[in-house]
Amino acid sequence: MTLSEVKPPTCASEEDALWRAFKQDGSREAREALFSLHVAFARRIAARHHRDRGGDVEFQDLFQLACAGLLEALDRFQPDHGAPFTAFARRRVSGAVLDGIGKLSEAREQLSYRRRMRAERARSLASSVPADALSASDALAALIEMAVGLAVGIMLDDPALYASGETDRRPDAYESLAWKQAVARLHAEVAGLPDREGAVLRLHYLEGVGFDEIGATLGVSKGRVSQIHKAALGSIRKRLRNPADFRLKR
């Protein structure tokens, strides 16, 4: 029997037959037919959460979460207990939506935080000389210095790239031995920096701490942290003069 041959039930007895086929025989087609029967129920729950939140989360995201909750409810439901399925499933579908909203919100917050930190890095690396006061060659040199500083930041951003024994989660562009050796060398250089410079880089890149919080920890202003960050990356850049250290191999 294929899914196209399993029609939605038109009465309670036909739904009961689908539950028996699913629970007793493990029929995948019956499970899919039950899902099709109750998907509108899941959609209504998603729509309610969408209204309650004022539309701050896309409806389609909420609907996908509700569908996941519906599938879990189908697998857990025991028809022999006598309770109607929708009464059993309502709390589980709604719970799946709420749990998913929490994870989506956390992911958005993390993305926003990472963007703010990257903006802080870029500002700290930007030249303090007004752009209109730079010659063409000076402007190019400043841009190169900033780009290399950002590249160093990318290399520092994920300690899993150099930690021994950990699975490398990076895509293929980061899998070459040369890249891993360059990252390991970079971290060795960080370890050799003066205490305050090394602390700023470790806190910011390895612990994910923003410049404001680093300043509070070290007892200095955010602007001073920015200066230390730029100086530290500048020191590393001068000590790693081999261009191969910053080449992404594809």
Predicted TM-score (pTM) of the model is 0.47
Cα(32)–Cα(14) distance, rounded to whole angstroms?
A: 14
Residue by residue, pLDDT tens for the chain (250 residues) are 343 344 445 567 888 999 999 999 999 899 999 999 999 999 999 999 999 888 778 888 899 899 999 999 999 999 988 889 999 999 999 999 998 888 777 766 666 666 777 677 667 666 444 555 556 665 555 555 566 666 666 667 654 433 434 444 444 544 567 767 777 777 788 888 888 888 888 888 777 777 888 888 888 888 888 888 888 888 877 776 654 444 444 3
15 CB neighbour count, 10 Å cutoff: 19
- 3-state SS, one letter per residue, for 181-236: HHHHHHHHHHHCCCHHHHHHHHHHHHCCCCHHHHHHHHCCCHHHHHHHHHHHHHHH
Sign of the CA dihedral 40, 44, 47, 53?
negative
User: DSSP secondary-structure letter at 167?
Assistant: P
